[in-house]
Amino acid sequence: MILTTSKTIFAIEKIMSILKVIFELTKFRLSFLVSFSAIFGFILASDNFYIIDLIVLGISGYLVTAASVINNQIIEKDLDSKMDRTKDRPLPTNRISKRNSLITSVFFMVIGLTIMTLYFNMVAGLLSLVSLFLYTFIYTPLKRIGPIAVFVGAIPGALPPLIGWVAFSGEITIEAIIIFSIQFIWQFPHFWAIAWIYHDDYKKVGFKLLPSKGEKNFNTALNIMTYTLFLIPLGLLPTIFGITGIISGAIAVLCAILFLAQTFKLFKDYSRSSALKIMFGSFIYLPIVQISFILDKI
Single pTM value for the model: 0.91
Cα–Cα dist 102/90, whole Å: 13
pLDDT at 18: 80
pLDDT at 216: 86
pLDDT at 298: 74
Q: Please count the other Cβ atoms lying within 10 Å of the Cβ belonging to residue 171.
A: 11
pLDDT at 255: 95
Per-residue pLDDT of the chain (298 residues; tens, 9 = 90+): 555 666 666 567 677 778 888 889 999 888 998 999 999 999 999 988 889 999 999 999 999 999 999 999 999 999 999 998 989 999 999 999 999 999 999 999 999 999 999 999 999 999 999 999 999 999 999 999 988 999 999 999 999 999 999 999 999 999 999 999 999 999 999 999 999 999 989 988 888 889 877 778 889 999 999 999 999 999 999 999 989 989 999 999 999 999 999 999 898 888 899 999 999 999 999 999 999 999 987 7
Q: Please count the other Cβ atoms lying within 10 Å of the Cβ belonging to residue 2.
A: 6
pLDDT at 212: 73
Cα–Cα dist 34/45, whole Å: 17
Q: Alpha helices of the chain — where are they, by DSSP H?
A: 2-25, 28-45, 51-75, 77-80, 98-115, 122-133, 140-142, 148-169, 174-197, 199-205, 211-214, 218-240, 246-269, 272-297
